[in-house]
Structure 1
Amino acid sequence: MNTRFTAALLASASIVAFSALPQAAQAQMFEEIVVTAQKRDQSLSDVGVSVTAFSGESIERLGFTNSVDIVAQVPGLNVGTPVGEGNNPAFTLRGVGLNDFNDNSESPIAIYQDGVYVSALAGMTFQLFDVERVEVLRGPQGTLYGRNATGGLIHFISKKPTDEFEAYARATYGSYNQIKLEGAISGPLSDTVSGRLSFSSNNHDGYNENRIGRDGNEADSKAVRGLLDFKLADNHNLMLKGYYSKADTIAAQYQHVPSDGVSDIYGYSDTDGDTHAGAYDRAGALNIEAYGVSGTYEGTWGEVDVTNVLSYSKTDKFHQEDTDAGPVSGILPTFQANIRQISEELTFSGGNDKFNWVLGGFFFDTKVVGKLDLLVNWYAGFANAVDSDPTVFDGLLGAGTPSLGATADDVLLPAIGYDVDYTQDTQSISGYGQVEYNLDEKWKVTFGLRYTNEKRHIEYLNAMPAGYLLNDAFGGVLGMQSYMDFRTGANNNGTGIPGLDAGAVGNLNDNDFNNVSGKVGLDYAANDDLLLYVSVSRGFKSGGFNAGFLDATDGLTTANVPYDSEKLTSYEAGFKWNSTGGMFRVNGAAFYYDYKDFQALGFSGLSQFITNSDATYKGMELEVGATPAEGLSIQLGASYLDAQVDGVFIDGVYFPDVTPVLAPEFTANGLVHYEKPVTALKGIVGATVSFNHQGSHYFDITNSASSKQKAYTLVDARLSWMSENESVELAAFAKNIFGKDYNVYSFDFTGTAGFLQEMPGRPKWFGAELTLRY
């Protein structure tokens, strides 16, 4: 076993031992979190699956402000931001994830908000406010939830309307002139109707300095959520929800790192060592607007509980990127997407002390309309060289980086222009069920089954407009003038992908998948304090289409456009133990994943595409909590992962036995919280210190040295005072106290342009907040 993981286990055991000392006699009970991981209210300790949950109070105490922040305190959960903060996140859980940032893709980690699946990647980064709890379920999902997922599930659950009036408001001021406001008002509107209205806004200056323009990585976000709770009759309830959010900011900027340590093909080099500063000629915009409505009916008919969730949502995104990350207008992509989603989930459930069952059906329909534009400019001197010697272009295709830079002809001219338009439609219908049967007071067996039918259709066109150097100089022989047109089956210039002429498309633009998956589990309640469980489950995620910048000159053919579904078989064993009196608890799980057709993202030149390969994952997690004294609570978590992908073909090269991206071998997290009434201050003083350690990991499936992020540890702290009646709270906080530099993603453009893109994580951040409650 990894020595660092062993050390973490020993540290955890030390805390458990410490918590058993005599002074622990005054310990208070852990806050008991009720979760709905198995579609009914249960204590977290009674659920025979690997779950991490946060209450709303814990989220406030830890200073989580958006959906990505929870990664800091969930063992085995990681996230990367391939296109920057606030944009499409790449979640991985136990190493299972997908780092493709194309908007027609879906994550194998299913994200839910108030029972509604969120398919849009651009809609997965949202503000956390007025939250009741968050649940993170590890492993394949499908026998209890509407959307099938191979890696796990994260459910964000809002606070509901109350029968009595309540309200709160919170104002935060922090580094980079951050001003964050949030609040909620809730209460009865009539004898049968109650409502809750919540809002949040977050604004701060850019923390990535632009020496020649507007700073990047700024925030200008707002969100509002409304809930209406109708009591239709005894045991019949209807909850209506509407939400709207908008981010209108200057996007995150990459750090420019010359591959050869000197300069890129544009003659630029950023070597000052400041990871939060650069010179960017393009202050790229990031605009994401999301809104939706849903209705959730819950009722009891006889002895059967019925739940129906119907939803509609829309997410629109516009993003401009300065890919060359320098002062030259070199590589300039623009990403646009409009994503419409409709979902309907109907479940029936029932049971008693002996037997519990759930039966459900799920319908999902989404349409993604994407538009991607890419302009690549080169110096006129290089253009002249291309005209006289076409082989000069070979370097830019990966054979080597041409030494170009500024010349006497220091004029930028358009060289390559991609104009991608696509429309992707997805319809999925599924039926699922799960039964739990108590064999006796100690043993319980679980069976689950799911059938899924999923259809996808895409229309894709990548055209190169006239007037670009390579179109003019080469007559379109690079295959970019009209790479492919699934709408007509035509290849207009006749020199692109062989065989893709009229009538030759066949069913390449249609996918139709049928899958049967399920679960078998066995729980053993050894006593009132210890639960043991084992399970075998299978997850499924359908295949799809590569719809980014695809170029035949990068070696891609029509066969690379569709990719296959992935299937994961999980073998898991775990335990949950609470000490008598609740002074401490320990949860642990070990797993083995047999992964078929794992979906891996690769790059070839300027083309990005998903390919399939088999993989094997194995590992474990451990979570320990203790209350060794009244007012003092300690929590620790650790994960160990050994993940290996059999091999992938990238740019014609086979890379065997690679590690998946965003899959560190070891992670650790923890917090210490202490609070105590102080009579002299007429209130309760609290302090929280937390940490998150990420082991080394890769950002590229080829495991290149340049894509490796070294291990790092982030430390946060919060100090608070709350009035005796809990109506007023003052707090000061610090995040990344020691100013650790680290990357949340990187791309290697060595072969095409002679530099690396590195996306830095947040710098140290300080602030204060005031909360008023009624």
Structure 2
Amino acid sequence: MPEEQNIEVIQVKAQKRLQDIRDVSVAVTLVDGEQIERQQIKDTTQLAALAPNVKSSKVAGEGTTPSFNIRGIGMFDYNTSTISPIAIYADDVVSGGANFLDSNLFDIQRVEILRGPQGSLFGRNTTGGAILISSRLPEMEFDGYAGLSLAEHDYQRAQAAVNLPLGEQTAARLAINHLDYDYSMQNLAPNGQDGGMRQDSLRLLVSSEWDNFSVLLKLYSEDWRGAPKPIYSAGILKNPVSGERCLPADVGSRRCVDSFGFAPATDDFWQTEADTADKRHDTDSWGTSLQWQWQLNQIWSLKSITAYKDLQRFHSFDSDGPGNFIEGSLGSDSEFFSQELSLSREGEYSFWQMGLFYLQEQLLQDSDLDLFRDFRAIPSLAANAAQFFYHNKLDNRSLSAYSQVDYYLNPQWILTAGLRFTDESTEYHAVSDLDVEGAFIPSLWDIKGEVEDAEWSGKLALVQKMSAQTSLYYSYSRGYKSGGYNGGYSTSAEQAADSEYAPERLNAWEVGARFYLPDWNMNLDMAAFWYRYQDQQVFVNQTTGLSPYHVLKNAGDSRIHGVELSLAYTPFSQLMLDFNLGYLPKAELGEYREGDIYVAGTQLPFTSKWNFSGLMQYEMNLAGGRMLAQLGFDYQSSFFFDQNENPYLEQPGYSIWHGRLAYQPNEAWELALWGKNLFNREYHELRFDSIAALSAVTELRGEARQLGVEVTYHF
């Protein structure tokens, strides 16, 4: 390969191997594990503030399936059968179904956030992008650390890791993480829970390396127990008799009531009344993976990744505040197996990767939806109450073959060409029982079916190396996400039968530039992109009937374009500044019509036009030790939580600030003060349309300010 000058090199694994970022035609943000620890980033859903045009949410609360959105592409759907267009790869193993998207981040080496379709090298459904998480690997010397953090809202975190040399070629690393905390929401209802979670995680890595062969074994386990965050049921009526509605700005205050005349007892944003006495959350999961790599000779290398994961989850929820009108549970049992085999060839002027990927995942859903239970005590209304029990089985299979080559045409130009063929299928068996006043109806519907499709995806790109410090790239990518079955909360056989959805396809054009300015000690990355969607899959909320009905549908040919900028600047050795800017002037939903639903040209759900984030870090010598100060923010402009641009479901723009002040008296100890949401900003994680049923908006409100302390010891 061409010789590089001796300059600062930032290496990324955006193409499944370590490369200088200036040789890569992918928009990628690299975050090291130390930054994740310092910013108190708890899990994968809190990574959004680190990269431009990235958004994430718990959607239906802690422990439910999260939502990720990159450049307007995402899946704002709490359904456990959802396959996100954003894939997460933890130590080279793809996340799979929605249940596996949310995991705690501890003892992490690095995270890479890839923006844009990854249609050739990476496995399944990466229409929007991929998040690559790398754990800290075992080392051949005994060391480790232990840390304890305490904060408001009864927050406790204990974590530790230790390296254990097991021989000349083998070492192990054991890491544990314990979290116990309450939510900032205070539930004023009698016997109502404020909610909280205890999460215990363990990871064991064992690695062995010989001259031309290496093995990495991973075992992990997670155990979560707790109660869901109480929702806030915000009435929208100024007068329930006349039906006059409140202004959107007044919703959530005592000036507005729901259909039953309920209004909150207080205007305190973090106080609510919700019947959550019997609500709970339980998750048990574990998994293992085995990687081996064989350097056949100086040119050829063979790699295998085998993985198995298992998860059982139960989450019950309340959507109506103090009453019993819309409640239910999400129960799931997921099993996952994947196998990837890849062969690579490194020549003097090229690098060629090719491989086979297989995935098999089974999801058993055992959920319920309980509607208007309080009506059962009123004879004239009892016939309106119903409880649906869902017993769904989905078997997902994915098989693909891929190949990508990077060819150095000359010292200034690198050509990348990749192609992937994917064959996927979803077999489903949907069964529902119905309990109504005076009767239980088994197998109200019993539906079987299969969705199959196969598609080519790929990439063609050029990297132009203007100098050792500057490169440009020009890229075309073809993204693809298969169809499937949305095993959600249907209330009729017709709805259940209408829950299939077709594949989506994305044509993405992108240009980017990377500059290293040594005189300024500055790295500057920029990108501009144009997306043309075909049959985009969008979570559609039917808002006209009393019963909730939410489906995943192909909503037409959407259009997205935008720009991004990332800046890392070190004006002097003690001060580091990072800034990210994302701008989406157009993120427009295609035309969709079905029954009473018609949308066209609206803003894509959960998509902001602007987002900014920044971080300042300052270090100084003090009293024989080191002082580290950090202050950062994340700003999102306004967005909507549904496809209709309903003003009652709008989240106004907001910014969240965080900070940390730490002192290291020596290399072993660190004492720190930290804070999140420093200015106590009020914002929502979810606003859901319950207007037809309750004349209310169901809200999950974000976390209030939290201040904490931590101590860490390295040995």
Instruction: Please say whether Structure 1 and Structure 2 have the same fold, judged by a TM-score greater than 0.5.
Output: yes
Q: Which residue of 1 aligns with 2:514?
A: 576
Select between 120-129 and 368-377 the one with higher mean Cα deviation.
120-129
The structure richer in helix per residue is 1
> Is the partner of 2:410 in helix, strand or coil?
coil
Deviation at 1:143, TM superposition (A): 1.2
Distance 1:631 1:31, change over 3 A: farther
Distance 1:542 1:772, change over 3 A: same
> Is the partner of 1:59 in helix, strand or coil?
helix
Name which of 218, 235, 238 aligns with 1:241: 218
Contact residue 148 and residue 156 of structure 2 kept, 8 A: yes
Q: Which residue of 1 aligns with 2:88?
A: 111
Deviation at 1:271, TM superposition (A): 5.5
Q: Which residue of 1 aligns with 2:541?
A: 603
Name which of 305, 308, 313 aligns with 2:304: 308
| Structure-1 separation of matches of 2:183 and 2:41 | 19
Contact residue 671 and residue 710 of structure 2 kept, 8 A: yes
Q: Is structure 2 residue 422 aligned with structure 1 residue 422?
A: no
Contact residue 207 and residue 218 of structure 1 kept, 8 A: no
Q: Which residue of 2 aligns with 1:122?
A: 99
Q: Is structure 2 residue 692 aligned with structure 1 residue 751?
A: yes
Deviation at 1:606, TM superposition (A): 1.3
| Structure-2 separation of matches of 1:571 and 1:206 | 42
Aligned-partner residue type, residue 438 of structure 1: Y
| Structure-2 separation of matches of 1:525 and 1:39 | 21
Distance 1:766 1:462, change over 3 A: same
Q: Spell out the pairing of 1:211-610 with structure 2 (5 A cutoff).
A: 211=188, 212-231=190-209, 233-261=210-238, 262-270=256-264, 272-283=266-277, 284-302=279-297, 303-326=299-322, 328-379=323-374, 383-386=378-381, 415-465=385-435, 467-468=436-437, 482-487=443-448, 509-552=449-492, 556=495, 558=497, 560-580=498-518, 583-604=521-542, 605-610=547-552
TM-score, normalised on structure 1?
A: 0.86
Cα shift readout 1:461-496 (whole Å, capped 9, x = no counterpart): 12213x426x69xxxxxxx87542125xxxxxxxxx
Q: Which residue of 2 aligns with 1:496?
A: none
> Is the partner of 2:26 in helix, strand or coil?
coil
Select between 416-425 and 605-614 the one with higher mean Cα deviation.
605-614
Aligned-partner residue type, residue 676 of structure 2: K
Q: Report percent identity of matched pairs.
A: 27
Name which of 566, 583, 604 aligns with 1:640: 583
Q: Which residue of 2 aligns with 1:498?
A: none
Contact residue 82 and residue 746 of structure 1 kept, 8 A: no
Contact residue 234 and residue 699 of structure 2 kept, 8 A: yes
Deviation at 1:651, TM superposition (A): 5.3
Cα shift readout 1:153-199 (whole Å, capped 9, x = no counterpart): 00111000001111101100101121100010003111221000000
Deviation at 1:332, TM superposition (A): 1.9
The structure richer in strand per residue is 2
Bigger Rg, structure 1 or 2: 1
Q: Spell out the pairing of 1:660-739 with structure 2 (5 A cutoff).
A: 660-678=604-622, 681-724=623-666, 726-739=667-680
Aligned-partner residue type, residue 527 of structure 1: S
Distance 1:582 1:131, change over 3 A: farther
Cα shift readout 1:515-544 (whole Å, capped 9, x = no counterpart): 011110011001111100001011111111
Deviation at 1:386, TM superposition (A): 4.9
Q: Spell out the pairing of 1:15-54 with structure 2 (5 A cutoff).
A: 33-54=10-31
Aligned-partner residue type, residue 139 of structure 1: G
Distance 1:72 1:674, change over 3 A: same
Deviation at 1:266, TM superposition (A): 4.1
| Structure-1 separation of matches of 2:236 and 2:295 | 64
How many residue pairs end up in the alignment?
684
Select between 43-52 and 353-362 the one with higher mean Cα deviation.
43-52
Deviation at 1:448, TM superposition (A): 0.4
Contact residue 527 and residue 564 of structure 2 kept, 8 A: yes
| Structure-2 separation of matches of 1:31 and 1:422 | 53
Q: CA RMSD in A?
A: 2.0
| Structure-2 separation of matches of 1:90 and 1:464 | 30
Deviation at 1:449, TM superposition (A): 0.2
Q: Is structure 2 residue 50 aligned with structure 1 residue 80?
A: no
Name which of 657, 664, 680 aligns with 2:601: 657
Q: Which has the higher contact order (CA 8 A, sep 6+)?
A: 1
> Is the partner of 1:751 in helix, strand or coil?
helix
| Structure-2 separation of matches of 1:709 and 1:300 | 52
Contact residue 77 and residue 539 of structure 2 kept, 8 A: yes
Deviation at 1:97, TM superposition (A): 0.4
Deviation at 1:329, TM superposition (A): 2.5
| Structure-2 separation of matches of 1:712 and 1:482 | 47
| Structure-1 separation of matches of 2:203 and 2:180 | 18
Distance 1:243 1:323, change over 3 A: same
Select between 690-699 and 580-589 the one with higher mean Cα deviation.
580-589
Cα shift readout 1:275-309 (whole Å, capped 9, x = no counterpart): 22222222321112211010010120022111110
Q: Is structure 2 residue 607 aligned with structure 1 residue 612?
A: no
| Structure-1 separation of matches of 2:596 and 2:442 | 23
Aligned-partner residue type, residue 318 of structure 1: F
Unaligned runs of 5+ in 2: 1-5, 239-255
Deviation at 1:33, TM superposition (A): 4.2
Q: Which residue of 1 aligns with 2:245?
A: none
Q: Which residue of 1 aligns with 2:3?
A: none
Contact residue 353 and residue 404 of structure 2 kept, 8 A: yes
Contact residue 486 and residue 501 of structure 2 kept, 8 A: yes
| Structure-1 separation of matches of 2:235 and 2:595 | 22
> Is the partner of 1:68 in helix, strand or coil?
helix
| Structure-2 separation of matches of 1:227 and 1:630 | 35
Deviation at 1:654, TM superposition (A): 1.1
Name which of 138, 148, 168 aligns with 1:171: 148
Deviation at 1:581, TM superposition (A): 5.4
Distance 1:322 1:583, change over 3 A: same
Contact residue 193 and residue 276 of structure 2 kept, 8 A: no
Deviation at 1:650, TM superposition (A): 5.9
Aligned-partner residue type, residue 687 of structure 1: A
Cα shift readout 1:208-267 (whole Å, capped 9, x = no counterpart): 111223533412111000001122x31201100000011101112211101214433444
TM-score, normalised on structure 2?
A: 0.92
> Is the partner of 1:646 in helix, strand or coil?
coil
| Structure-1 separation of matches of 2:33 and 2:260 | 50
Q: Which residue of 2 aligns with 1:195?
A: 172
Deviation at 1:356, TM superposition (A): 0.9
Q: Which residue of 2 aligns with 1:7?
A: none
Deviation at 1:629, TM superposition (A): 1.0
Contact residue 414 and residue 463 of structure 2 kept, 8 A: yes
